[in-house]
Amino acid sequence: MECIFCQIVDKKIPAKIIGENHGAIAFLDIQPFSDGHTVVIPKKHVQNLSQCDSQTLHDVIDLVKQVAHDIQNSSLKPWGINYLSNEGSIAGQFVMHFHVHVIPKYGEAEGFKIGIGNKYLGDINKIYDELKKSIQK
């Protein structure tokens, strides 16, 4: 089955497109957390941020910035904005095509909420040592 986001890029299925540049496209989320909730994706299929080349990532982030600016200067007047990108199904990625959510925030109890859970935290020194070993390889 073809990726739903690729189908939006190819105009095979409709979307409320609100912005576009050479390498990315932005459209309203069909299951929004708040008014103006927008999804920004690369036009080419890339599964996640970790697999994204620098130019594609640049195109996506430039459009994320433009979308946020447009939302902030619209009549929607959000109090703030959340930016979110999940990687892998365990992290909440449902469409396996890299995307960034731009989620306007209108009140503390409204829209996207961040829940903090620290059940599996290890010693910070051990974590640091493991990461340093991995980075040095």
Q: Tell me which residues are annotated as active site.
A: 99
Q: Which residue has the tokens 């999804």?
A: 39
Q: How many Å apart are CA 11 and CA 120, to the nearest integer?
A: 43
Q: Is 101 left (phi over 0), alpha (psi -120 to 50) or beta?
A: beta
Burial class (CB in 10 A: 0-12, 13-18, 19+), 70: middle
User: Beta strand 24-28 with 80-84: parallel, antiparallel or unpaired?
Assistant: unpaired
Q: How many Å apart are CA 24 and CA 40, to the nearest integer?
A: 7
